[in-house]
Structure 1
Amino acid sequence: MTDLTGKFFWYELMTSDPQAALAFYGDVVGWTSQPFGGERTDDPYHVVSGSAGAVGGVMAIPAEARDCGMTPWWGGYIGSADVDADAARLRAAGGTVKRPPEDIPGVGRFAVMSDPGGAIFMLLKGSSPDGMESAPPMAPGHVGWHELYAGDYDKDLAFYTGQFGWTQGDAMDMGPMGSYRLVSQTGGSDFQDMTGGIMPVLKDMPVPVWLFYFTVGNIDAAVERVKAGGGVVLNGPQEVPGGAWIIQATDPQGAMFALVGGKEEAR
Protein backbone atom coordinates (compact mmCIF):
# COMPACT_ATOMS: atom_id res chain seq x y z
CA MET A 1 0.00 0.00 0.00
CA THR A 2 1.06 3.57 -0.62
CA ASP A 3 2.55 5.46 2.33
CA LEU A 4 0.17 8.41 2.71
CA THR A 5 2.02 10.08 5.59
CA GLY A 6 2.39 13.78 4.87
CA LYS A 7 0.12 13.67 1.81
CA PHE A 8 -3.45 14.73 1.15
CA PHE A 9 -5.43 11.57 0.59
CA TRP A 10 -9.07 12.14 1.65
CA TYR A 11 -11.38 15.02 0.80
CA GLU A 12 -14.57 15.92 2.62
CA LEU A 13 -17.48 18.16 1.78
CA MET A 14 -19.52 19.56 4.65
CA THR A 15 -22.66 20.97 3.14
CA SER A 16 -26.15 22.26 3.88
CA ASP A 17 -27.77 19.72 1.52
CA PRO A 18 -25.88 16.42 1.14
CA GLN A 19 -28.36 14.80 -1.24
CA ALA A 20 -28.33 17.77 -3.61
CA ALA A 21 -24.53 17.91 -3.46
CA LEU A 22 -24.24 14.19 -4.23
CA ALA A 23 -26.48 14.61 -7.28
CA PHE A 24 -24.52 17.66 -8.48
CA TYR A 25 -21.04 16.13 -8.16
CA GLY A 26 -22.27 12.78 -9.45
CA ASP A 27 -23.23 14.51 -12.68
CA VAL A 28 -20.33 16.97 -12.89
CA VAL A 29 -17.45 14.73 -11.80
CA GLY A 30 -18.94 11.28 -12.34
CA TRP A 31 -18.79 10.05 -8.75
CA THR A 32 -20.71 7.12 -7.35
CA SER A 33 -21.66 7.21 -3.67
CA GLN A 34 -22.85 5.03 -0.84
CA PRO A 35 -23.48 5.49 2.89
CA PHE A 36 -20.41 4.70 5.00
CA GLY A 37 -20.48 1.08 6.11
CA GLY A 38 -23.62 0.52 4.07
CA GLU A 39 -25.72 1.99 6.90
CA ARG A 40 -28.71 4.00 5.80
CA THR A 41 -29.51 6.43 8.60
CA ASP A 42 -31.33 9.74 8.61
CA ASP A 43 -28.01 11.61 8.44
CA PRO A 44 -25.41 9.29 6.87
CA TYR A 45 -21.84 9.95 5.85
CA HIS A 46 -21.63 9.25 2.13
CA VAL A 47 -18.39 7.91 0.65
CA VAL A 48 -17.81 9.12 -2.92
CA SER A 49 -15.68 7.22 -5.44
CA GLY A 50 -13.94 8.01 -8.71
CA SER A 51 -12.51 5.70 -11.34
CA ALA A 52 -9.82 4.28 -9.02
CA GLY A 53 -11.76 3.95 -5.78
CA ALA A 54 -12.85 6.11 -2.87
CA VAL A 55 -12.04 9.83 -2.98
CA GLY A 56 -13.69 11.21 0.13
CA GLY A 57 -16.97 11.87 1.83
CA VAL A 58 -20.02 14.13 1.89
CA MET A 59 -21.85 14.99 5.09
CA ALA A 60 -24.19 17.56 6.56
CA ILE A 61 -22.61 20.44 8.45
CA PRO A 62 -22.82 19.46 12.14
CA ALA A 63 -25.35 21.50 14.10
CA GLU A 64 -22.76 22.99 16.43
CA ALA A 65 -20.61 24.08 13.49
CA ARG A 66 -23.61 25.51 11.65
CA ASP A 67 -24.56 27.48 14.76
CA CYS A 68 -21.03 28.95 14.78
CA GLY A 69 -21.46 30.17 11.22
CA MET A 70 -19.87 27.38 9.17
CA THR A 71 -20.86 27.47 5.52
CA PRO A 72 -20.40 24.65 2.96
CA TRP A 73 -16.73 23.93 2.23
CA TRP A 74 -14.27 21.29 1.05
CA GLY A 75 -11.57 20.13 3.47
CA GLY A 76 -8.59 17.83 2.99
CA TYR A 77 -7.02 15.20 5.25
CA ILE A 78 -3.26 14.68 5.40
CA GLY A 79 -2.01 11.24 6.43
CA SER A 80 -0.39 11.01 9.86
CA ALA A 81 1.53 8.20 11.55
CA ASP A 82 0.87 9.73 14.99
CA VAL A 83 -1.84 12.39 15.14
CA ASP A 84 -1.06 13.54 18.68
CA ALA A 85 2.65 13.93 18.03
CA ASP A 86 2.08 15.61 14.67
CA ALA A 87 -0.44 18.07 16.10
CA ALA A 88 2.05 19.09 18.78
CA ARG A 89 4.90 19.33 16.27
CA LEU A 90 2.88 21.42 13.83
CA ARG A 91 1.73 23.75 16.61
CA ALA A 92 5.36 24.31 17.60
CA ALA A 93 6.13 25.12 13.94
CA GLY A 94 3.53 27.88 13.77
CA GLY A 95 0.33 25.96 13.09
CA THR A 96 -2.80 26.03 15.26
CA VAL A 97 -4.77 23.13 16.71
CA LYS A 98 -8.39 23.93 15.90
CA ARG A 99 -9.76 20.66 17.26
CA PRO A 100 -7.59 18.45 19.47
CA PRO A 101 -6.91 14.85 18.46
CA GLU A 102 -9.81 12.48 19.00
CA ASP A 103 -11.03 9.13 17.74
CA ILE A 104 -13.73 8.49 15.15
CA PRO A 105 -15.08 5.00 15.94
CA GLY A 106 -14.30 2.59 13.14
CA VAL A 107 -12.36 5.19 11.17
CA GLY A 108 -9.29 6.40 13.03
CA ARG A 109 -7.84 9.33 14.94
CA PHE A 110 -7.96 12.88 13.59
CA ALA A 111 -7.26 16.51 14.43
CA VAL A 112 -8.24 19.78 12.82
CA MET A 113 -5.32 22.14 12.17
CA SER A 114 -4.54 25.42 10.48
CA ASP A 115 -1.26 26.51 8.93
CA PRO A 116 0.51 29.75 9.97
CA GLY A 117 -1.56 31.74 7.48
CA GLY A 118 -4.87 30.33 8.70
CA ALA A 119 -5.88 27.74 6.06
CA ILE A 120 -7.59 24.68 7.55
CA PHE A 121 -6.54 21.06 7.00
CA MET A 122 -6.99 17.83 8.93
CA LEU A 123 -4.67 15.08 10.12
CA LEU A 124 -5.86 11.47 10.02
CA LYS A 125 -4.49 8.08 10.97
CA GLY A 126 -6.79 5.25 9.97
CA SER A 127 -7.72 2.59 12.49
CA SER A 128 -7.28 -0.20 9.95
CA PRO A 129 -3.81 -1.61 9.23
CA ASP A 130 -4.81 -1.75 5.57
CA GLY A 131 -3.87 1.45 3.78
CA MET A 132 -5.14 3.02 0.58
CA GLU A 133 -3.55 3.02 -2.84
CA SER A 134 -2.99 6.39 -4.45
CA ALA A 135 -4.98 6.96 -7.60
CA PRO A 136 -2.99 7.16 -10.86
CA PRO A 137 -2.18 10.73 -11.95
CA MET A 138 -5.20 12.50 -13.43
CA ALA A 139 -7.51 9.54 -12.79
CA PRO A 140 -11.09 10.63 -13.60
CA GLY A 141 -12.99 11.70 -10.51
CA HIS A 142 -9.90 12.03 -8.32
CA VAL A 143 -7.95 15.08 -7.17
CA GLY A 144 -5.45 16.10 -9.83
CA TRP A 145 -4.12 19.26 -8.18
CA HIS A 146 -3.95 20.88 -4.73
CA GLU A 147 -3.78 24.67 -4.47
CA LEU A 148 -3.23 26.76 -1.37
CA TYR A 149 -4.32 30.38 -1.28
CA ALA A 150 -1.93 31.24 1.53
CA GLY A 151 -2.56 33.77 4.25
CA ASP A 152 1.20 34.08 4.84
CA TYR A 153 2.98 32.94 1.69
CA ASP A 154 6.54 32.67 3.03
CA LYS A 155 5.64 31.09 6.36
CA ASP A 156 3.14 28.68 4.80
CA LEU A 157 5.60 27.53 2.13
CA ALA A 158 8.24 26.90 4.79
CA PHE A 159 5.64 25.14 6.99
CA TYR A 160 4.53 22.56 4.45
CA THR A 161 7.95 21.88 2.99
CA GLY A 162 9.63 21.77 6.40
CA GLN A 163 7.02 19.80 8.32
CA PHE A 164 5.72 17.40 5.66
CA GLY A 165 8.80 17.02 3.48
CA TRP A 166 7.19 18.49 0.39
CA THR A 167 9.63 19.64 -2.27
CA GLN A 168 9.58 22.86 -4.23
CA GLY A 169 9.45 23.23 -7.98
CA ASP A 170 9.57 26.32 -10.14
CA ALA A 171 7.99 29.62 -9.15
CA MET A 172 5.88 31.55 -11.63
CA ASP A 173 5.57 35.33 -11.46
CA MET A 174 1.89 36.30 -11.59
CA GLY A 175 2.46 40.05 -11.40
CA PRO A 176 0.26 41.81 -8.84
CA MET A 177 -1.04 38.45 -7.57
CA GLY A 178 2.46 37.44 -6.41
CA SER A 179 4.41 34.24 -6.96
CA TYR A 180 2.95 30.80 -7.66
CA ARG A 181 5.26 28.11 -6.27
CA LEU A 182 4.87 24.53 -7.48
CA VAL A 183 5.15 21.88 -4.77
CA SER A 184 5.32 18.10 -4.70
CA GLN A 185 3.93 15.92 -1.91
CA THR A 186 5.82 12.92 -3.31
CA GLY A 187 9.34 14.34 -3.01
CA GLY A 188 10.06 14.77 -6.72
CA SER A 189 11.54 17.89 -8.27
CA ASP A 190 10.61 17.60 -11.95
CA PHE A 191 7.47 19.20 -13.40
CA GLN A 192 5.69 15.85 -13.72
CA ASP A 193 6.25 15.26 -9.98
CA MET A 194 4.39 18.41 -8.94
CA THR A 195 1.07 17.83 -7.16
CA GLY A 196 0.04 21.39 -6.37
CA GLY A 197 0.89 25.01 -5.90
CA ILE A 198 1.01 27.75 -3.27
CA MET A 199 0.15 31.37 -3.95
CA PRO A 200 -0.90 34.39 -1.85
CA VAL A 201 -4.59 34.54 -1.00
CA LEU A 202 -6.52 36.67 -3.47
CA LYS A 203 -7.91 39.99 -2.29
CA ASP A 204 -11.51 38.99 -3.02
CA MET A 205 -11.29 35.71 -1.07
CA PRO A 206 -12.68 35.88 2.48
CA VAL A 207 -10.12 33.56 4.08
CA PRO A 208 -7.01 31.53 3.19
CA VAL A 209 -8.06 28.12 1.88
CA TRP A 210 -7.01 24.90 0.20
CA LEU A 211 -8.70 24.35 -3.17
CA PHE A 212 -8.92 20.87 -4.69
CA TYR A 213 -9.09 20.21 -8.44
CA PHE A 214 -11.19 17.20 -9.40
CA THR A 215 -10.24 15.54 -12.69
CA VAL A 216 -12.72 15.41 -15.56
CA GLY A 217 -12.30 14.68 -19.24
CA ASN A 218 -13.48 17.47 -21.51
CA ILE A 219 -13.44 20.73 -19.54
CA ASP A 220 -15.99 22.47 -21.77
CA ALA A 221 -18.52 19.68 -21.28
CA ALA A 222 -17.86 19.81 -17.53
CA VAL A 223 -18.50 23.58 -17.52
CA GLU A 224 -21.91 22.99 -19.09
CA ARG A 225 -22.71 20.36 -16.43
CA VAL A 226 -21.71 22.78 -13.66
CA LYS A 227 -24.02 25.46 -15.05
CA ALA A 228 -26.88 23.06 -15.73
CA GLY A 229 -26.66 21.76 -12.17
CA GLY A 230 -26.91 25.19 -10.60
CA GLY A 231 -23.21 25.80 -9.94
CA VAL A 232 -21.37 29.02 -10.74
CA VAL A 233 -18.13 29.16 -12.75
CA LEU A 234 -15.87 31.77 -11.13
CA ASN A 235 -12.94 31.57 -13.52
CA GLY A 236 -11.97 29.72 -16.69
CA PRO A 237 -11.63 27.57 -18.63
CA GLN A 238 -7.96 28.54 -18.54
CA GLU A 239 -5.04 26.60 -19.99
CA VAL A 240 -2.19 25.87 -17.58
CA PRO A 241 1.39 24.60 -18.12
CA GLY A 242 1.39 20.99 -19.26
CA GLY A 243 -1.64 21.43 -21.52
CA ALA A 244 -4.45 20.93 -18.99
CA TRP A 245 -7.42 23.25 -18.61
CA ILE A 246 -8.92 24.38 -15.32
CA ILE A 247 -11.91 26.16 -13.84
CA GLN A 248 -12.76 27.37 -10.35
CA ALA A 249 -16.41 27.25 -9.34
CA THR A 250 -18.93 27.06 -6.52
CA ASP A 251 -21.52 24.33 -6.15
CA PRO A 252 -25.24 25.12 -5.66
CA GLN A 253 -24.79 25.22 -1.87
CA GLY A 254 -21.84 27.63 -2.12
CA ALA A 255 -18.80 25.40 -1.57
CA MET A 256 -15.80 26.34 -3.70
CA PHE A 257 -14.20 23.61 -5.83
CA ALA A 258 -12.18 23.33 -9.02
CA LEU A 259 -11.92 21.06 -12.05
CA VAL A 260 -9.00 20.07 -14.26
CA GLY A 261 -9.33 18.36 -17.61
CA GLY A 262 -8.55 18.46 -21.30
CA LYS A 263 -10.17 19.69 -24.47
CA GLU A 264 -10.50 16.50 -26.50
CA GLU A 265 -11.61 13.73 -24.12
CA ALA A 266 -15.24 12.70 -24.02
CA ARG A 267 -15.53 13.20 -20.24
Structure 2
Amino acid sequence: MTSDVSAAAAFYAKVAGWSMAYSQIPGMDYTLAKVGKRQVAGLMGFPPAIKNKQPMWFGYILVADVDDMAKRVRDAGGTVHREPTDIPNVGRFAVVADPQGAMFMLFRGSGEPAPELAADAPGTVGWRELHTTDWEEALAFYQDLFAWEISMAKDMGPMGVYQTFSVAGAWTGGMMKGGGSPYPHWLYYINVDDIDAAAMRVAEAGGQVQHGPHEVPGGNWIVMGKDPQGAEFALTGSRQT
Protein backbone atom coordinates (compact mmCIF):
# COMPACT_ATOMS: atom_id res chain seq x y z
CA MET A 1 0.00 0.00 0.00
CA THR A 2 1.68 3.16 -1.20
CA SER A 3 1.32 6.85 -1.98
CA ASP A 4 2.46 6.45 -5.60
CA VAL A 5 1.66 3.11 -7.25
CA SER A 6 3.34 3.79 -10.60
CA ALA A 7 6.58 4.99 -8.98
CA ALA A 8 6.62 2.05 -6.56
CA ALA A 9 5.97 -0.37 -9.43
CA ALA A 10 8.93 1.03 -11.38
CA PHE A 11 11.16 0.75 -8.29
CA TYR A 12 10.38 -2.90 -7.51
CA ALA A 13 10.50 -3.88 -11.18
CA LYS A 14 14.11 -2.68 -11.23
CA VAL A 15 15.15 -3.97 -7.79
CA ALA A 16 13.28 -7.30 -7.61
CA GLY A 17 12.91 -8.05 -11.32
CA TRP A 18 9.12 -8.14 -11.11
CA SER A 19 6.94 -7.57 -14.16
CA MET A 20 3.84 -5.47 -13.53
CA ALA A 21 0.29 -5.87 -14.82
CA TYR A 22 -2.98 -4.06 -14.13
CA SER A 23 -5.26 -6.44 -12.24
CA GLN A 24 -8.68 -6.07 -13.92
CA ILE A 25 -10.34 -6.47 -10.48
CA PRO A 26 -13.69 -4.60 -10.60
CA GLY A 27 -13.71 -1.48 -8.45
CA MET A 28 -10.02 -1.71 -7.50
CA ASP A 29 -6.99 0.15 -8.82
CA TYR A 30 -4.58 -2.71 -8.21
CA THR A 31 -1.27 -3.59 -9.86
CA LEU A 32 -0.03 -7.19 -9.83
CA ALA A 33 3.67 -8.02 -9.48
CA LYS A 34 4.76 -11.23 -11.20
CA VAL A 35 7.71 -13.58 -11.45
CA GLY A 36 7.23 -15.05 -14.89
CA LYS A 37 3.49 -15.77 -15.02
CA ARG A 38 3.18 -16.31 -11.25
CA GLN A 39 1.64 -13.52 -9.18
CA VAL A 40 3.78 -12.84 -6.08
CA ALA A 41 2.65 -9.44 -4.79
CA GLY A 42 0.36 -6.48 -5.40
CA LEU A 43 0.47 -2.69 -5.18
CA MET A 44 -2.38 -0.29 -4.48
CA GLY A 45 -3.00 3.26 -3.32
CA PHE A 46 -4.45 4.23 0.02
CA PRO A 47 -8.23 3.93 0.44
CA PRO A 48 -9.79 7.28 1.44
CA ALA A 49 -10.70 6.00 4.92
CA ILE A 50 -7.07 5.41 5.95
CA LYS A 51 -5.75 8.32 8.00
CA ASN A 52 -2.17 7.18 8.72
CA LYS A 53 -0.85 7.02 5.19
CA GLN A 54 2.48 5.31 5.91
CA PRO A 55 3.45 3.18 2.89
CA MET A 56 4.05 -0.43 3.91
CA TRP A 57 3.84 -4.04 2.82
CA PHE A 58 1.16 -6.37 4.18
CA GLY A 59 1.45 -10.15 4.05
CA TYR A 60 -1.28 -12.72 3.45
CA ILE A 61 -1.81 -15.91 5.44
CA LEU A 62 -3.79 -18.55 3.56
CA VAL A 63 -6.61 -20.09 5.59
CA ALA A 64 -9.41 -22.58 4.99
CA ASP A 65 -12.17 -20.29 6.32
CA VAL A 66 -11.65 -16.52 6.44
CA ASP A 67 -14.76 -15.82 8.53
CA ASP A 68 -13.93 -18.40 11.17
CA MET A 69 -10.30 -17.29 11.38
CA ALA A 70 -11.27 -13.61 11.69
CA LYS A 71 -13.43 -14.57 14.67
CA ARG A 72 -10.54 -16.54 16.17
CA VAL A 73 -8.20 -13.57 15.71
CA ARG A 74 -10.63 -11.36 17.64
CA ASP A 75 -11.17 -13.98 20.35
CA ALA A 76 -7.38 -14.32 20.77
CA GLY A 77 -6.96 -10.60 21.47
CA GLY A 78 -6.29 -9.42 17.93
CA THR A 79 -8.19 -6.83 15.90
CA VAL A 80 -10.30 -7.16 12.75
CA HIS A 81 -9.76 -3.94 10.78
CA ARG A 82 -11.84 -5.04 7.80
CA GLU A 83 -14.47 -7.74 8.08
CA PRO A 84 -14.32 -10.68 5.64
CA THR A 85 -15.02 -9.47 2.13
CA ASP A 86 -15.24 -11.13 -1.29
CA ILE A 87 -13.14 -10.08 -4.28
CA PRO A 88 -15.10 -11.34 -7.32
CA ASN A 89 -13.36 -14.24 -9.08
CA VAL A 90 -10.32 -13.88 -6.78
CA GLY A 91 -11.20 -14.94 -3.25
CA ARG A 92 -12.21 -13.77 0.21
CA PHE A 93 -10.06 -11.74 2.59
CA ALA A 94 -10.00 -9.87 5.89
CA VAL A 95 -7.61 -7.27 7.29
CA VAL A 96 -6.55 -8.11 10.84
CA ALA A 97 -3.83 -7.45 13.42
CA ASP A 98 -2.21 -9.51 16.16
CA PRO A 99 -2.55 -8.44 19.83
CA GLN A 100 0.56 -6.23 19.56
CA GLY A 101 -0.85 -4.41 16.52
CA ALA A 102 1.10 -5.92 13.59
CA MET A 103 -1.28 -6.09 10.63
CA PHE A 104 -1.69 -8.90 8.11
CA MET A 105 -4.34 -10.37 5.82
CA LEU A 106 -6.35 -13.58 5.94
CA PHE A 107 -7.07 -15.00 2.50
CA ARG A 108 -8.75 -17.91 0.76
CA GLY A 109 -8.57 -17.96 -3.01
CA SER A 110 -11.21 -19.01 -5.50
CA GLY A 111 -10.50 -22.17 -7.47
CA GLU A 112 -7.28 -24.14 -7.47
CA PRO A 113 -4.16 -22.38 -6.15
CA ALA A 114 -1.35 -21.68 -8.59
CA PRO A 115 1.74 -23.94 -8.38
CA GLU A 116 4.25 -22.69 -5.82
CA LEU A 117 7.62 -21.36 -6.91
CA ALA A 118 10.78 -22.61 -5.21
CA ALA A 119 11.25 -21.02 -1.77
CA ASP A 120 14.52 -19.37 -2.89
CA ALA A 121 13.40 -18.35 -6.38
CA PRO A 122 14.50 -14.76 -7.19
CA GLY A 123 11.61 -12.35 -6.81
CA THR A 124 9.71 -14.41 -4.25
CA VAL A 125 9.50 -13.63 -0.54
CA GLY A 126 12.14 -15.79 1.14
CA TRP A 127 11.78 -14.67 4.77
CA ARG A 128 9.21 -12.97 7.01
CA GLU A 129 10.22 -11.09 10.13
CA LEU A 130 8.02 -9.71 12.89
CA HIS A 131 9.25 -6.62 14.74
CA THR A 132 7.09 -6.39 17.84
CA THR A 133 6.82 -5.34 21.47
CA ASP A 134 6.45 -8.89 22.82
CA TRP A 135 7.57 -11.71 20.55
CA GLU A 136 6.77 -14.44 23.11
CA GLU A 137 3.08 -13.47 23.21
CA ALA A 138 3.04 -12.91 19.46
CA LEU A 139 4.53 -16.35 18.82
CA ALA A 140 1.89 -17.97 21.04
CA PHE A 141 -0.82 -16.14 19.07
CA TYR A 142 0.42 -17.36 15.68
CA GLN A 143 1.12 -20.85 16.98
CA ASP A 144 -2.42 -21.20 18.31
CA LEU A 145 -4.14 -19.87 15.20
CA PHE A 146 -1.93 -21.18 12.41
CA ALA A 147 0.04 -24.07 13.97
CA TRP A 148 3.42 -22.43 13.31
CA GLU A 149 6.31 -24.34 14.83
CA ILE A 150 9.12 -23.03 17.06
CA SER A 151 12.56 -23.32 15.45
CA MET A 152 16.03 -22.02 16.32
CA ALA A 153 16.49 -19.10 18.72
CA LYS A 154 19.57 -16.86 18.57
CA ASP A 155 20.74 -14.60 21.41
CA MET A 156 21.74 -11.28 19.83
CA GLY A 157 23.10 -9.73 23.03
CA PRO A 158 21.76 -6.20 23.67
CA MET A 159 19.21 -6.69 20.87
CA GLY A 160 17.63 -9.65 22.67
CA VAL A 161 16.51 -13.00 21.31
CA TYR A 162 15.76 -13.65 17.65
CA GLN A 163 13.20 -16.47 17.55
CA THR A 164 12.65 -18.29 14.25
CA PHE A 165 9.62 -20.34 13.27
CA SER A 166 8.66 -22.96 10.68
CA VAL A 167 5.47 -23.61 8.71
CA ALA A 168 4.75 -27.21 7.71
CA GLY A 169 8.37 -28.09 8.43
CA ALA A 170 9.86 -25.28 6.32
CA TRP A 171 12.03 -22.62 8.00
CA THR A 172 9.96 -19.53 7.24
CA GLY A 173 10.62 -16.48 9.40
CA GLY A 174 11.65 -14.88 12.66
CA MET A 175 10.44 -12.62 15.45
CA MET A 176 12.24 -10.09 17.62
CA LYS A 177 11.52 -7.27 20.01
CA GLY A 178 11.78 -3.81 18.52
CA GLY A 179 13.92 -4.17 15.42
CA GLY A 180 14.42 -0.40 15.35
CA SER A 181 10.79 0.29 14.47
CA PRO A 182 8.39 2.50 16.48
CA TYR A 183 5.42 0.19 15.79
CA PRO A 184 4.89 -3.58 15.44
CA HIS A 185 4.93 -4.78 11.86
CA TRP A 186 6.03 -7.55 9.53
CA LEU A 187 9.10 -7.07 7.32
CA TYR A 188 9.37 -9.10 4.09
CA TYR A 189 12.64 -10.25 2.49
CA ILE A 190 12.68 -10.58 -1.32
CA ASN A 191 15.02 -13.21 -2.79
CA VAL A 192 17.73 -11.93 -5.14
CA ASP A 193 20.55 -13.66 -7.02
CA ASP A 194 23.33 -11.24 -6.05
CA ILE A 195 22.94 -9.15 -2.87
CA ASP A 196 25.57 -6.56 -3.84
CA ALA A 197 24.08 -5.97 -7.29
CA ALA A 198 20.60 -5.73 -5.74
CA ALA A 199 21.80 -3.18 -3.17
CA MET A 200 23.21 -1.07 -6.00
CA ARG A 201 19.86 -1.25 -7.80
CA VAL A 202 18.09 0.04 -4.68
CA ALA A 203 20.23 3.19 -4.66
CA GLU A 204 20.06 3.63 -8.44
CA ALA A 205 16.25 3.43 -8.34
CA GLY A 206 15.97 6.12 -5.67
CA GLY A 207 15.58 3.95 -2.56
CA GLN A 208 17.66 3.85 0.62
CA VAL A 209 19.93 1.05 1.81
CA GLN A 210 19.62 1.37 5.58
CA HIS A 211 21.67 -1.66 6.63
CA GLY A 212 23.85 -4.19 4.88
CA PRO A 213 24.83 -6.23 3.13
CA HIS A 214 25.26 -8.34 6.30
CA GLU A 215 25.86 -12.07 6.49
CA VAL A 216 23.32 -14.10 8.49
CA PRO A 217 23.30 -17.72 9.74
CA GLY A 218 22.91 -20.16 6.86
CA GLY A 219 25.33 -18.33 4.56
CA ASN A 220 22.92 -15.80 3.06
CA TRP A 221 23.36 -12.04 3.03
CA ILE A 222 20.70 -9.43 3.73
CA VAL A 223 19.99 -5.79 2.99
CA MET A 224 17.34 -3.67 4.70
CA GLY A 225 15.99 -0.63 2.93
CA LYS A 226 13.19 1.78 2.14
CA ASP A 227 11.61 2.40 -1.22
CA PRO A 228 11.25 6.00 -2.52
CA GLN A 229 7.79 6.31 -0.92
CA GLY A 230 9.06 5.17 2.50
CA ALA A 231 7.91 1.54 2.69
CA GLU A 232 10.36 -0.75 4.47
CA PHE A 233 11.51 -3.92 2.72
CA ALA A 234 14.47 -6.28 2.79
CA LEU A 235 16.46 -8.40 0.36
CA THR A 236 18.12 -11.76 0.89
CA GLY A 237 20.54 -13.66 -1.31
CA SER A 238 24.09 -14.84 -1.87
CA ARG A 239 27.23 -12.82 -2.42
CA GLN A 240 28.78 -13.41 -5.83
CA THR A 241 32.09 -11.61 -5.30
TM-score range, shorter chain: over 0.9
Q: Which residue of 2 aligns with 1:181?
A: 163
Distance 1:30 1:166 in 2: 30
Q: How does 1:181-220 map to 2 (within 5 A)?
A: 181-186=163-168, 188=169, 193-202=170-179, 204-220=180-196
Cα RMSD (Å) of the superposition?
1.7
Shift of 1:70: 1.9
Task: Sort the Cα spacing of 1:248 and 1:129 in 2 relative to 1 into closer, same or farther, 3 A.
Answer: same
Distance 2:214 2:93 in 1: 36
Q: How does 1:1-267 map to 2 (within 5 A)?
A: 14-37=1-24, 44-51=29-36, 53-65=38-50, 68-126=51-109, 128-186=110-168, 188=169, 193-202=170-179, 204-264=180-240
Q: Is the 8 A contact 2:19 2:36 kept in 1?
A: no
Distance 1:114 1:146 in 2: 16
Distance 1:69 1:175 in 2: 34
Distance 1:52 1:105 in 2: 21
- AA aligned opposite 2:113: G
**Structure 2: where are the runs of 5+ without partners?**
none
Of stretches 74-83 and 52-61 in structure 1, the one that deviates more from structure 2 is 52-61
Distance 2:176 2:231 in 1: 20
How far does the alpha carbon of each residue in 1:57-112 deviate from its partner, in whole angstroms, 9 at most, with x for none? 111112222xx122211001111211111111121122111111122223221111
Q: Is the 8 A contact 1:51 1:141 kept in 2?
A: no
The percent identity for this pair of structures is: 48
How far does the alpha carbon of each residue in 1:144-173 deviate from its partner, in whole angstroms, 9 at most, with x for none? 001011222111011111210111111000
Where 2:58 maps in the other structure, the secondary structure is: strand
Distance 2:10 2:72 in 1: 40
Distance 1:195 1:52 in 2: 23
Number of residues of Structure 1 aligned to a counterpart in Structure 2: 241
- AA aligned opposite 1:250: K
Q: Is the 8 A contact 1:245 1:260 kept in 2?
A: yes
Distance 1:132 1:185 in 2: 19
Of stretches 88-97 and 136-145 in structure 1, the one that deviates more from structure 2 is 88-97
How far does the alpha carbon of each residue in 1:106-139 deviate from its partner, in whole angstroms, 9 at most, with x for none? 322111111111100010112x221122221210
Give me the TM-score of the superposition, normalised by structure 1: 0.86
Q: Which residue of 2 aligns with 1:3?
A: none
Where 2:112 maps in the other structure, the secondary structure is: coil
